[in-house]
Amino acid sequence: MAFISIGMNNSRKSIILGVTGSIAAYKAVDLLRLLTSAGHDVRVLQTEASLRFVGELTFQALSGHPVVIDQFDPRSESVFSHIDLASADIMLVAPATAGTIGKMAAGLADNLLLSSYLATKAKVMICPAMNQQMWNHPAVRENIDTLKRRGALIIEPGSGELACGDEGVGRMAEPREIFERVRQHLADVPTSKADVHGDINRSGSLAGVRVLVTAGGTREPIDSVRYITNRSSGRMGMELAEAALDRGARVTIVAANCSTTRIPGITQIDVETAEELETAVESEYESCDVLLMAAAVSDYKVSDIMTMGKIEREESVSNLKLVPTSDIVANLKNNGNGRVRIGFAAEHGEENRERARRKLLDKGLDMIVFNDISRADIGFESSDNEITIMAPGRDDIFVEKTTKRECAERIMDQVETLIA
């Protein structure tokens, strides 16, 4: 693997994120995290109404900049801050309420966000969020058409349950979808050529790095309808893949029976059994720089599978003969090319922590992630986890109970140090 410089590259862009007074403002927090993780410089501009939903300190902490609310706020870098802000590469309004959309269409400038909109030469991207009746009102439709004619890109709202309890179109697009649209614009490619095969020049701390992730739990058939499996949903692996993508990596995920949705921008290979997962990993391994083996791979499979039909209740089945599956990561050869290999050890009880350390050394891994599956509040079928990151010659890093996404970010932090 060629030397990879960890840090920002010349694809770093300046983005203004305008947040208006909608319950969907909470989604802007996730959107900001995606944008900053990709290496972009984001300044958040909030309306007064948006402060009722998300406070400015949240956006300030994630962006690293003071949040601008009032044009004449003494904390602003200039009293002409709407002119300063207007020099951005993209102005992204998310969420955009019906009121803000109407004022933008009318050319009003009664707050800093609207003043910045009128002054900017940047590409304007608008993410509407409102009740479905408001979204379908002729006045709103006319305002949307007006903004489109003026060159704004409208990221259409999605359909589903709304904050008011109604069902319909009006939900602000999901942060991941918005992020991908921003990325596509910055890469200057049509939407139809989204980077599902890694064909866009990415920015971020892992730009140019090829990451291979396994996720989910394998199924080992008994007959044509039954199988042996485990409780893994694939969420941890998906979070790792998304965290790598957000840092600019080109990501492939081998997904074993994952219950999660596909992630735009990531190549996904679906498999079922341990043997299929091994075949897919071996096929992709030579072209990756980092391997994250997060899948829960069955240790055993049935030796004699009834491939046609099923074992009937009346039939006598005294036992099933099980044989070991391959130890996939142990069998992979590193070939001295600097490839980073990371394993995961789901052990039952803290007393088995040392088993994870032995796996780290016995399998020649660069890092292993230990988690205790005896606890019902973390790990399998939970959105949270608590992990210990182990690496040869380094102190253990303990990550106390938090979201799986935060665990993924901490793991990717250590991946960057290994690459560097």
Residue numbers annotated as active site: 164
Residue type, 231: R
Distance CA 186, CA 184 (A): 6
CA atoms within 13 Å, Cβ hemisphere of 137: 12
Closest CA to 244 of 274, 268, 265, 221: 265
| Residues in the chain, total | 420
Paired with 377 in beta bridges are: none
Q: Which residue has the tokens 């939970």?
A: 382
205 — phi, psi (to 5°)?
-70, -15
Closest CA to 6 of 322, 249, 291: 249
Paired with 403 in beta bridges are: 384
CA 366 to chain centroid, in Å, comes to 24
Please check whether residue 402 is in contact with residue 385, taking contact to mean a CB–CB distance below 8 angstroms.
yes
Q: Which residue has the tokens 């379908």?
A: 136
Closest CA to 264 of 207, 184, 185, 209: 184
Please check whether residue 232 is in contact with residue 217, taking contact to mean a CB–CB distance below 8 angstroms.
yes
257: tokens are: 């029976």
| Residue 192: its H or E element | none
Residue type, 371: N
N-term to C-term CA, the chain: 12
DSSP-H helix ranges across 169-302 = 175-187, 235-246, 274-285
